[in-house]
């Protein structure tokens, strides 16, 4: 299946030079000083005399606000800001802890300490129980283990989707109630 990009108003690059059709426009020069309200033709000729472009910054304003600037440098700076914002996001991080339903008590405590650390550091954790062989006939043991863990961690985490069972795996996603560190 092929996805087509959506064309929102925010996705479109700003209009420049002869793409600007509304006249007059409020013009700001490359130093940030107001040149006043000019016709589009006068603003474009002023920008071209300086070897720069006329870029529409605020198209919703009356009259629209345009700035004289280097267009390619402007696009580069915008792209750089978007990349920086994406880099700082942490919303898509889901850590996973896997275990078996007949796990030893000490091993379970070790896994649960790790689960608590992950909940505090990140936002979401998926706990997965994997059943093998005859364990598949006793899924009630795994279900009881997960419900006990949900009750144990209800003060620091909530469950997003409840208990999900798919094939030989049973999982639950915990979302942190506290703000993650970092």
Give 10-residue mean pLDDT values along the chain (182 residues).
50 81 87 88 89 88 89 89 81 83 90 87 86 88 90 85 88 80 51
Class level of CATH domain 94-176: alpha beta
Q: Do residues 64 and 39 touch, judged by C-beta distance below 8 A? A: no
Burial of 60 (0-12, 13-18, 19+ CB in 10 A): exposed
Query: Domain ranges in the chain?
Result: 17-82, 94-176
Task: Enumerate residues 6+ apart whose C-beta is below 8 A from 92.
Answer: none
Best CA proximity match to 160, nearest among 150, 148, 145, 170: 150
Q: Which two tokens stand for residue 149?
A: 């863990």
Q: How far is CA 32 from CA 69, 151, 152, 163, in A?
A: 10, 59, 58, 57
pLDDT confidence of residue 90? 62
CA 88 remoteness from chain centre: 9
Best CA proximity match to 40, nearest among 19, 24, 16, 64: 24
Question: DSSP character for 180?
Answer: P
Q: What span, in angstroms and rounded, lies between the C-alpha atoms of 161 and 93? A: 16
pLDDT confidence of residue 4? 46
Q: Which residue's entry shows tokens 């978007």?
A: 82
Per-residue pLDDT tens over the stretch 85-118: 887 776 667 888 999 988 899 999 999 899 888 8
pLDDT confidence of residue 130? 93
Report field, pTM of the whole predicted structure over 0.85: no
Question: DSSP character for 177?
Answer: S
Tell which CATH classification among 3.40.470.10, 3.10.20.80, 3.55.50.30, 3.40.50.300 matches the domain 17-82.
3.10.20.80
């Amino acid at each position: 299946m092929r996805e087509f990009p959506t064309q929102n108003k925010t996705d479109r690059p700003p209009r420049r030079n002869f793409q600007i059709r509304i006249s007059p426009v409020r013009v700001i020069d490359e130093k940030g000083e107001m040149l006043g309200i000019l016709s589009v033709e006068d603003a474009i000729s002023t920008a071209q005399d300086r070897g720069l472009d006329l870029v529409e910054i605020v198209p919703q304003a009356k009259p629209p606000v345009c700035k004289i600037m280097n267009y390619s440098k402007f696009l580069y700076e915008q792209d750089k800001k978007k990349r920086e914002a994406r880099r700082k996001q942490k919303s898509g991080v889901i850590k996973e802890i896997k275990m078996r339903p007949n796990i030893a008590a000490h091993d379970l405590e070790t896994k649960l300490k790790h689960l608590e650390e992950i909940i505090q550091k990140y936002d979401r954790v998926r706990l997965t129980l994997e059943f093998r062989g005859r364990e598949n006939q006793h899924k009630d043991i795994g279900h009881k283990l997960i419900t006990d863990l949900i009750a144990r961690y209800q003060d620091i985490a909530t469950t997003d989707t409840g208990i999900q069972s798919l094939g030989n795996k049973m999982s639950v996603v915990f979302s942190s109630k506290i703000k993650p560190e970092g």
